[in-house]
Structure 1
Amino acid sequence: MTLPRGFKASAEREAVRLRKELGLIDSAPLNVRNLADHLGVKIVSAEVLIDRERLEELERLQAYAFSAATFEVAGRHYIVTNPLRPDGRQASDIAHELSHLLLQHDLSEIRELNGTPFRTCQPEEEEQATAFGGTLMLPRPLLLSAARRGMKPADIAASYGVSEEMARYRYNTTGVAKQAYTRSG
């Protein structure tokens, strides 16, 4: 799949705009829970809703079947997170779910896992939410600043509270490493 033309540039502009609303400078880490609060979205750990053992059982049945989900209840959005995930992964999952809301995706597709129905989006919307979520946490100006300071994806993940996979994805897909090298070399 491919993102629509202009999507990445629009996502970068929106990430910068939202960060400014939160009073963050370009190189500051984004606490996605603060962004959720700013957007009026409540974050709830799944273990508040069901026993942790059931989450562990689901994980044994199908690893990574559940990371996070968004629900609307009485006009308010809730993101339910999986407490079994490391903090950096949870941040990515929350950013992904917030992206669905910011992009106004319709959670209309029903899928079933082990007899339990889940609502989800179309594959192209999932791709958009993944790309936008990464952009929210690691916008290009932040990555460029980090790359110019010699930071690699592992350093970026540790400094900015994201998963190493997300840091590597954004570092590699934005071209900042090459731009930082060209400017300093």
Structure 2
Amino acid sequence: MTLKHGFKAQSERTASKFRGELGLAASDALDPRVLAEHLGVAVVDAGSLIAVEELEELERIQAYSFSAATFDISARKIIVVSPLRSRGRQNSDIAHELSHVILDHDLSEVRELAGMPFRTCKPEEEEEATALGGALLLPRDLLMSAARRNATIEQIADQYLVTSEMARYRYNTTGVAKQVSRTR
């Protein structure tokens, strides 16, 4: 799957817009829960809806089968997030789900898993939400600043409250890794 031409640049502009609306400096961490509140989206811990033991059983049956999901209930968007994930992973999941909301994606595709129908987005919309979610949490300019400070992937992840996987993904897909290697 490939993002349409210009989508990554548009994601950076969108991230900059929302970060500006929240009064964040270029080097500030974005708390996706604060962005959700700004957008009028509720974030609910799944552990407040069902017993955590049931979530743990689901995890035992199929690891990482549930991290977060967005629901549209009475014209209100609600993101339900798994309490079994780390704070960094929750932040990535919430940013991803908020990206679906920002991009006005429609949960229109029905897929069947183990005989159960689930509504989901199209694969290209998932890719778009991943790209925008990453830009919200770790914009390219922020990563360039971190690279100039010689911050490691782990330091970036710790400082900006994301997973190392997200920090590495953004560091590589934004071209920061190549740009830094050319200047060293």
Structure 2 residues without counterparts, runs of 5 or longer:
none
Q: Runs in 1 of length 4+ with deviation above 6 angstroms?
A: none
Q: 1:118: which partner in 2?
A: 118
Alignment of 1:12-161 (within 5 A): 12-161=12-161
**Equivalent residue letter for 2:57:** E
Give, in angstroms, the shift of residue 54 of structure 1.
1.1
> Secondary structure, in 3 states, of the residue corresponding to 1:85?
coil
Does the 8 Å contact 1:148/1:181 carry over to 2?
no
Partners of 1:136 and 1:4 lie apart in 2 by 19
Alignment length, in residue pairs? Answer: 184
- Partner in structure 2 of residue 171 of structure 1: 171
> By how many angstroms is 1:156 displaced?
0.4
Work out the CA distance in 2 between the residues paired with 1:173 and 1:181. Answer: 14
Deviates more, 1:54-63 or 1:90-99: 54-63
Shift of the alpha carbon at 1:114? 4.1
Do the aligned partners of residues 53 and 114 (structure 1) sit closer, same or farther apart at CA in structure 2, a change above 3 Å counting? Answer: farther
Q: What root-mean-square deviation, in Å, do the aligned CA atoms of Structure 1 and Structure 2 show?
A: 1.3
Displacement of 1:61: 1.2
TM-score (norm 1): 0.95
Percent identity between the aligned chains? 64
Task: Give the superposition deviation at 1:70.
Answer: 0.2
CA displacement at 1:57 relative to structure 2: 1.0
Cα distance in 1, alignment partners of residues 110 and 81 from structure 2 = 19
Residue deviations 1:3-22 (CA, integer Å, cap 9, x gap)? 00000000001101110000
Question: Can you give the 5+ residue segments of structure 1 that lack an aligned partner in the other structure?
Answer: none
The Cα offsets for residues 91-143 of structure 1, whole Å up to 9 and x where unpaired, read as 00000000001111001122343454322101111111111100110001110
- Aligned residue identity for 2:60: R
8 A Cα contact 1:29 1:137, kept in partner: yes
Q: Secondary structure at the match of 1:110?
A: strand
Where 1:59 maps in the other structure, the secondary structure is helix
Rounded to whole Å, the distance in 2 between the matches of 1:21 and 1:180 is: 30
1:178 is displaced (CA, Å) by 3.4
| TM-score, normalising length: structure 2 | 0.95
